[in-house]
Amino acid sequence: MNEVPMLTRFTASTEGRLALIALAVFLVMALLSPDKFLSVQNLTSMAFQFPEFAILALAMTITMLTGGIDLSVVGIANMTAIVAALILTKLTGSGDGWAVLALALSVSVAVGVVAGLFNGILIATLGLPPILATLGSGLIFTGIAIAMTGGSAVMGFPPATAWIGNSTVLGIPTPLIVFALLALGISLLLTRTGFGIKLRMFGANPLAARYAAIDIDAMLLRVYMLSGALAAISGMVVMSRANSAKADYGSSYLLLAVLIAVLGGVNPYGGYGRVIGVVLAVLSMQFLSSGMNMLQVSNFARELIWGTLLILVMIMNTWRAKPRKA
Amino acid sequence: MPDALVTLDGVTKTYSGITALDGVSLSIAAGEAVCLAGENGSGKSTLIKILAGVEQPDRGRIAFAGVTQGPLNPRLSAAAGIKVIFQDFSLFPNLSVAENIAFSAEIGAGARLYRKARIRDLATRTLARIGVDIPLDVAVETLSVAHKQLVAICRALATEARLIIMDEPTTALTEREVRVLLGIIRRLKADGVAVLFVSHKLAEVLEVCEHVVVLRNGEKVAEGPATDFDAASLTRHMTGRDVAASPPAPLPANAPVLMQVENLHKDGACTDISFTLHAGEVLGISGLLGSGRTALAKALFGLVAPDRGSITLNGKPVPTGNPLAAAEAGIGYVPEDRLTEGLFLTQSILQNIAIGRLDAHGSTAGILDLPALMSEARDWLKRLSVKTTTPDAPVRSLSGGNQQRVVLARWMARSPRVLILNGPSVGVDVGSKSEIHGIIAGLAAQGLGVIVISDDLPEVLATCHRVLVMKSGRITEDFDARAVTETELAHRLAS
Amino acid sequence: QDSKKIATVVKIAGIQWFNRMEEGVKQYATDTGNDAFQVGPAQADPQQQAALIEDMIAQGVNALAVVPMSPEALEPVLKRAMDAGITVITHEAASQQNTNYDIEAFVNEDFGANLMEQMATCMGGEGEYAVFVGSLTSQTHNQWVDGAIAYQKEKYPKMTLVGDKNETFDDQQKAYEKAQEVLRAFPNVKGLQGSASTDVAGIGLAVEEKGLGDKTCVFGTSLPSIAGQYLDTGAVDGIGFWDPSVAGYAMNKLATMVMNGEAVTDGMDLGLEGYNKVKLDGKVIYGQAWVNVNKANMADYPF
Amino acid sequence: MKIDWTRNETLVALVILGFCAAAAMSDPGFLSLATLTDLLRGGIVLGIFAVAALIVLISGGIDVSFTAVAAFTMYVTAMILNAALPWLPWWAALAFGMAVGAALGAFNGVLIAFFGLPTLIVTLGTMSIFRGTMLTFIGQKQITTLPPGMRDFGRMMLLRGENSDGSFYSLHGAFAVTVLVVVLTWAILHRTMLGRQIFAIGGSEESARRIGINVSRVQFFVYIYVGALAGLAGIIHASMARVANPFDLVGLELSVIAAVVLGGARLAGGHGTLTGTILGVALIVLVRNSLIVLGIPSTWQSVTIGCLILLGTGLPAWQAKRAAARAA
Ligand SMILES: Nc1ncnc2c1ncn2[C@@H]1O[C@H](COP(=O)(O)OP(=O)(O)OP(=O)(O)O)[C@@H](O)[C@H]1O
Ligand SMILES: Nc1ncnc2c1ncn2[C@@H]1O[C@H](COP(=O)(O)OP(=O)(O)OP(=O)(O)O)[C@@H](O)[C@H]1O
Ligand SMILES: [Mg+2]
Ligand SMILES: [Mg+2]
């Protein structure tokens, strides 16, 4: 008697339904190959895998909330990773390199912020549509990454570098911790700060935001700088996990990040989106993907299933809400 | 009533818990003008949307010429000769004026090919009919609100109609244009066309309508021939109480100068504007359509960068051309088009108010005290009597007048020193209007300077101490509001 | 002895080259009864390949045969595999550290020089030529091309390289467009050398449309099934490759040898064509497995 | 005629002229018929894609699945024709492809028009579905032996000539198809009420509904038409490349949309011209095919393309912003 309304209330929200989906995917995979999928080995392995693109999805989320998009995240990630890698290889002295690593990390995040600032200036100050501004700047960042290295990989890092991507803290993979902290931070930022509220309101109606005396330009600059910083952090995770940096790492993550954000319920036209939704979408994706690898299903079938999932979730969302579409 | 053109019987409509219409019955005969009166949120627009086939009623029967209709849709309604001027105009911003005017006519005629000459011809004729001159080929998005409203009216007039529904068609129009429109309504009636008219301007209602229906909270509370009503009784039916208009308290003689505007100039929009605003003063700015009032207001609020000129507030210069600086200095602006400029339609009512307070609100390490912020916003909802059951609902779900109050609340929450209100009671019912006027008076009493831009002459006289009249971008007159009567004012505007 | 689970992880699933490799892997499974299978990511992205290998480790395979998209990117994950006691064999990754053995069909620079030799002969030892790579980030492509250029400098000083390394993004259409532009920008160009398997097909189309089939010499890495129609018309003069199915078989065989503790020695015979007398250099095993194909012998290679 | 300096078209045209001037300066041979025909050929498939993307943008949507539709169509068509209908002439092969594309477009159309789902999300999903279905269930091997109809079409030339050095230049027959598509689309958009309704729903869907436009039907048409165009482009691509490679085309969608927006179409819907679209495509094709002539090293080519996209969109955007500030 009591459970039914609880369940209805739960499924009434986009995020509630996503939680059910993530759970369902987990259960199905666990049932299909219980010994493998539920092994500690596999669970840890999954926790190592998703943070790098999940962080990109966070970056995508905040830009989508303003009705924009950041197609340059992978370019930024690789460019900043190469900057960090060059520092790590050129400056490395004796010892295990913690100091150099700290330097490389800060420089790369700073470079990410500057790259984001460049996007922000294009979008806020010059008024370019975000999709084009970041498409163009993404090519430029990737190009710079290639020009810096001639296309080959940069490697030979001090051992400390492995810490970000390959180690565990109290048994929890470091990348997972990094992602969890970022997700929490972004979630707080979006829901509990003036910046977050303004950003969502701007996404809902840019003109009204101007009339409400919101500091639009400063806000957009900060949004894209933040996105750049997140991309840089993701770049660091990738660099550490690959123990090298190269201009073409993670090229498939761009579309994946967009897909995750949208699956997570973020409205790509701005105004709505929650971090929890994105996290649940990431989990569903990872469960599905690892599970299917265990079952040796073709990777193309995975693409098919993602697409189907996205559309089914959307049909469920509109079908339930049912006010005419916005 | 044997063969009424349109009959509604027991129509009920609820929106997720809110009963917008509750068993309303109504009939309209050919050649009759019926007025639908009621406070904000009483269900007028909902009734119209149902007749237009845009919304489906939950219960009730609708009949055209005695024939009961199945579920309606916009095409069926239009085919039955029902033409609507929507409160939000429902125009196509990207299409030309001519296309906007002729579009429904062409669709109705089942045209497959796009015949430009025919469309321009129809548009020209219709515009000529209401006697306004709007270039046919410009995109509607570049027009002023008033021109948009005129285009919306033309669109409804462009086709053969049996019932024309007008949802507050005169909100953005000047006196002259209202005259023309009322003339047209009379002619339509003579041709046997029925008119369903919604307006908060009671004088014009009583002037053209022979039948009045009053809604309150979605229910029909009164109905009868227009001759049975006068402004006062109509008001009483709508609000359930008496509303008295009282002129503003006189301005103390020693009121200090608050804002000084000198030689503010923007080529093509406003020319060398200078005036002063005193603390506690309500300054009216009136003028005909396109006289430059909005441009001036935007220049004051920094939305338009003037070519030259200065604004000083409390002796300190306010940087021009920057809304942030203007807001920082204490200038607030309630824009004229609340749907596109004022509101974040998909966001909650509370957030729409709270957005004004974000920077002023205390925060620890950037984290806002959300509960406090929201309860403050809730307070404002109460103070401005916004009619809503769930403050977390999107602001889109509010009726027009209630939406306007939300925008007002946002600015009032910032405690500005100068508040510029562009059409403060556009689409607001008499009851709330007088409340808003009361609020304006209250603001002035606290020492704020208020600028009211309006061509609702009773409103100007009821709220303002002083009136500036603008003509082609210049201030042509500056006089004490108490020294003039409504007719005198109308005369000065028009001359 | 019990059956082993050997996963062959290729750069990308579905393309001709690795479909052919899969034939070898399957053949090996049938021949030996081991559970040998092939997987590959849907997109050409080193990170996807790393994730796939992670999943294979979690699944508990006995051996991994990997064709890395980007060898450097796989070092950590392959290290984890080896730490977990999994045997790792790589291919097309002579620089790989974390591997038991890397098996190469040949020395990349030599292969590039072999293509150059054919092209130079065709050009009469003089004239302008241009080179194409699938991507500037691809190590093997760059090694082939660099080997070819070095060989030309040494042996054919009268030949000149025009333009930069042209990047085709492993896309036939891009290769076509680049070739078109090269032919316009350098009207005297006579030799064109491709690297990605789609390069010569794109170049061949451009050459054919311009009616330059007889005046140009087009060589490159490809498969008969991709470049066949241009070999037929003479737009492409010759291609070189190594048989991916044999390479696939060889990797799996090597993996089993390592698991069984058999010795891997210089000069040993893997019993496979091109790998009859392999050269062992550190962890890298080199065969002489390249095949040169032209119009005359293309019918012998139906893949 | 007065030149309107605030229009995207004008600014993009200027960028094109500037680019050509630079190319001609660095290599006088750039200004030749061979260059022109090469560029025109490069614009054939991109042009059809761009027209398709334009219509969707005007209707207020965005479609990222058209490249997947094209890839699916060309692959499946080549396969079916080879297996069952090898005798179909080239024009029937094109028609067949359009039908397959239209069917896939109808799938988008149903989800968008009748379920009312957001266009970006639907097409993002169907892109994966179309591609995943093809690669999982239909095949991954490229088809190098095209059906005779497509092969014939692939060798059809409108124009052929010899350069001074004895090489040929030629203009592919498919160019005529692109021209036809542009003309047909222009007629639909500007000479039929259906076209005006597409603009109308792009301007305001709710208003369109209120004046009795059958929004679902118009949207349905849009996605079917776009599907058909994408299918057509797919067949043309395969015929010209003489191979049906299922991995082709996908990944191009953002560049195509960029070209269209470069030409002045707005992502918010309701605005866009064919002239602008053609100019946008011209700029992209020109840039992609002239970097060697300009002597730009490979390592800097993507930077150059990025800069030109920013320049091409930046100029009009900045103009528009200034104009808005002036008028406000
Ligand atoms: N789409 C909607 N969703 C939820 N509630 C709605 C919706 N549209 C209208 N309402 C509610 O229905 C009631 C009647 O609204 P309606 O717009 O008909 O009022 P109105 O009489 O036209 O007011 P006004 O004079 O302010 O225009 C209001 O309480 C409003 O909040
Ligand atoms: N920034 C500007 N630059 C040039 N001309 C302008 C500018 N802003 C407005 N105008 C022109 O100045 C005139 C006054 O416009 P404005 O919108 O201020 O009039 P208004 O009196 O407020 O009209 P309404 O009753 O529509 O609010 C119009 O002709 C308008 O086109
Ligand atoms: Mg209303
Ligand atoms: Mg105005």
Residues 6 or more apart in contact with residue B441 via CB below 8 angstroms: B248, B249, B282, B463
- Name residue B277's beta-bridge partners: B259
Mean pLDDT across A272-279: 94
Residue D1 has pLDDT above 60, yes or no: no
Give the up-direction half-sphere exposure of residue B297: CA atoms within 13 A in the CB hemisphere.
29
Question: Which of A205, A220, A266 should one mutate to test binding to chain B, selecting the residue with the greatest count of B CBs within 10 A?
Answer: A205
With CB atoms and an 8 Å threshold, state whether B367 touches A214.
no
Residue whose pair of structure tokens reads 């309606």 in the numeric block: B72
The one-character DSSP state at A251 is: T
Residue D91 has pLDDT above 60, yes or no: yes
Beta strand spans in chain C (E) = 5-9, 35-39, 63-66, 87-91, 101-104, 127-133, 159-161, 166-167, 189-194, 217-221, 238-242, 279-281, 284-286, 290-293
Helix (H, G, I), strand (E, B) or coil at C238: strand
Mean pLDDT across D11-20: 89
As for how many domains chain A has, the answer is 1
What pLDDT does A325 receive?
A: 33
Residues 6 or more apart in contact with residue C118 via CB below 8 angstroms: C219, C237, C238, C240, C292
Q: Which residue has the higher pLDDT, B426 or B408?
A: B408
Question: Which of A73, A135, A207 should one mutate to test binding to chain D, selecting the residue with the greatest count of D CBs within 10 A?
Answer: A135
Q: Which residue has the higher pLDDT, D71 or B387?
A: D71
> Is the Cβ–Cβ distance between A152 and A89 less than 8 Å?
no
Mean pLDDT across C283-292: 91
Residue whose pair of structure tokens reads 């001609």 in the numeric block: D24
User: How many interface pairs between A and B have CB atoms less than 8 angstroms apart?
Assistant: 66
Residue A5 lies in a domain: no
What pLDDT does A324 receive?
A: 39
What pLDDT does B289 receive?
A: 65
| Nearest C-alpha neighbor of D294 from the set D280, D307, D278 | D307
With CB atoms and an 8 Å threshold, state whether A249 touches C41.
no
Ligand 1 centre from B41 Cα, in Å?
A: 5
Q: State pLDDT tens for residues A160-201.
A: 888 888 888 888 899 999 999 999 999 999 998 889 999 999
Ligand 1 centre from B10 Cα, in Å?
A: 18
Structure tokens at C96: 């790989």
Per-residue b or e along B397-409, where b marks 16 or more CB atoms closer than 10 Å to that residue's CB: bbbbbbbbbbbbb
Q: State pLDDT tens for residues B56-77.
A: 999 999 998 888 888 888 888 8
Return d(Cα B47, Cα B83) in angstroms, integer.
14
Chain D residues with CB inside 8 Å of B74's CB? 209-212
What pLDDT does B243 receive?
A: 63
Structure tokens at B348: 């909650």
| Nearest C-alpha neighbor of D81 from the set D69, D101, D71, D95 | D95
Pick the ligand that lies closest to the CA of residue B135. 2
Q: Which residue has the higher pLDDT, D327 or A160?
A: A160
Closest A-chain CA to B410: A212
Q: ipTM score here?
A: 0.86
**Which stretch, B368-382, B465-479, C101-115, has highest mean pLDDT?**
C101-115
Residue D230 has pLDDT above 90, yes or no: yes
Which atom in ligand 2 lies closest to the alpha carbon of residue B174? 25
Return d(Cα A136, Cα D284) in angstroms, integer.
12
Residues 6 or more apart in contact with residue D107 via CB below 8 angstroms: D126
Mean pLDDT across D25-48: 90
Residue B205 has pLDDT above 70, yes or no: yes
> Is the Cβ–Cβ distance between B193 and B163 less than 8 Å?
yes
Closest A-chain CA to D127: A307
Return d(Cα B356, Cα B23) in angstroms, integer.
39
Of chain C, the percentage scoring pLDDT greater than 90 comes to 74
Q: State pLDDT tens for residues C25-49.
A: 999 999 999 999 999 998 888 899 9
| Nearest C-alpha neighbor of C173 from the set D285, B85, B192, B359 | D285
> What pLDDT band is residue D44 in, cutting at 50, 70 and 90?
very high
Mean pLDDT across D167-177: 89
> What pLDDT band is residue B3 in, cutting at 50, 70 and 90?
low
Give the pocket of ligand 2 (CB within 6 Å).
Answer: B 144-146, 266, 268-269, 287, 289-295, 304, 336; D 327-328
Nearest residue (CA) to ligand 1, atom 3 = B397
What pLDDT does B494 receive?
A: 66
Question: Which of B73, B95, B396 should one mutate to test binding to chain D, selecting the residue with the greatest count of D CBs within 10 A?
Answer: B95
Closest B-chain CA to D270: B94
Most informative mutation of B89, B132, B138, B144 for ligand 2 (most atoms within 8 A of CB): B144
Which atom in ligand 2 lies closest to the alpha carbon of residue B291? 21
Per-residue b or e along D288-318, where b marks 16 or more CB atoms closer than 10 Å to that residue's CB: bbbbbbbebebbbbbbbbbbbbbbbbbbbbb
- Name residue B317's beta-bridge partners: B312
Residues 252-271 of D with CB under 8 A from A: 254-255, 257-258, 261-262, 267
Give the closest-approach CA distance of D172 to chain A in angstroms: 30
Of chain D, the percentage scoring pLDDT greater than 90 comes to 61
Which atom in ligand 1 lies closest to the alpha carbon of residue B49? 18
Mean residue pLDDT of chain B comes to 86
What pLDDT does C56 receive?
A: 92
Which atom in ligand 2 lies closest to the alpha carbon of residue B269? 12
DSSP, residue by residue, C162-196: -SSPEE-TT-HHHHHHHHHHHHHH-TTEEEEEE-S
Q: State pLDDT tens for residues B20-68.
A: 899 999 989 988 999 998 877 788 889 999 999 989 999 999 998 888 8
Residue A86 lies in a domain: yes
Structure tokens at D269: 């819907």
- Kindly state the greatest CA–CA separation across chain A: 68
Domain-wise residue ranges, chain D: 44-250+265-272
User: How many interface pairs between C and D have CB atoms less than 8 angstroms apart?
Assistant: 85
What pLDDT does B362 receive?
A: 65
> What pLDDT band is residue D174 in, cutting at 50, 70 and 90?
very high
Residue D328 has pLDDT above 60, yes or no: no
Residue A323 has pLDDT above 60, yes or no: no
Residue D301 has pLDDT above 70, yes or no: yes
Q: State pLDDT tens for residues D279-297.
A: 999 998 998 888 888 888 8
Residue A326 has pLDDT above 60, yes or no: no
Q: Which residue has the higher pLDDT, B4 or D146?
A: D146
Return d(Cα D56, Cα D112) in angstroms, integer.
12
Give the closest-approach CA distance of A90 to chain D in angstroms: 22
Mean pLDDT across D73-87: 94
Mean pLDDT across C155-159: 94
Chain A residues with CB inside 8 Å of B343's CB? 205, 208
Residues 119-148 of A with CB under 8 A from C: 146
What pLDDT does B1 receive?
A: 45
Chains B and A touch (3+ CB pairs under 8 A): yes
Q: For the whole model, what pTM was predicted?
A: 0.89
Domain that residue A196 falls in: 36-313
Instruction: Indicate the pairing of strand B331-334 with strand B211-216.
Output: unpaired
Mean pLDDT across D165-182: 90
Return d(Cα B127, Cα B34) in angstroms, integer.
25
Phi-psi domain of B218 (left: phi exceeds 0; alpha: psi -120 through 50; beta: other)? left
Mean residue pLDDT of chain D comes to 91
**Which stretch, A208-217, B444-453, D105-114, has highest mean pLDDT?**
D105-114
> What pLDDT band is residue A321 in, cutting at 50, 70 and 90?
low
Residues 6 or more apart in contact with residue B149 via CB below 8 angstroms: B89, B169, B170, B171, B172, B173
Return d(Cα A252, Cα C48) in angstroms, integer.
8
Q: Which residue has the higher pLDDT, A279 or D5?
A: A279
Domains along chain B with CATH numbers: 4-239 (3.40.50.300), 257-494 (3.40.50.300)
Structure tokens at C128: 């302008």
**Which stretch, A43-47, B183-187, B252-256, has highest mean pLDDT?**
A43-47
Return d(Cα C278, Cα C274) in angstroms, integer.
8
Residue A95 has pLDDT above 70, yes or no: no
Residue C24 has pLDDT above 70, yes or no: yes
Return d(Cα B318, Cα A126) in angstroms, integer.
25
What pLDDT does B281 receive?
A: 92
Phi-psi domain of B309 (left: phi exceeds 0; alpha: psi -120 through 50; beta: other)? left
- Name residue D1's beta-bridge partners: none
> Is the Cβ–Cβ distance between A131 and A71 less than 8 Å?
yes
Q: State pLDDT tens for residues B296-319.
A: 999 999 988 888 899 999 889 999
What pLDDT does A5 receive?
A: 60
Give the closest-approach CA distance of D82 to chain C in angstroms: 17
Ligand 1 centre from B397 Cα, in Å?
A: 7
CB-nearest partner of A251 from C37, C45, C72:
C45
> What pLDDT band is residue D298 in, cutting at 50, 70 and 90?
confident
CATH for A70: 1.10.3470
> What pLDDT band is residue B245 in, cutting at 50, 70 and 90?
low
Phi, psi dihedrals of residue D122, rounded to the nearest 5°: -60, -50
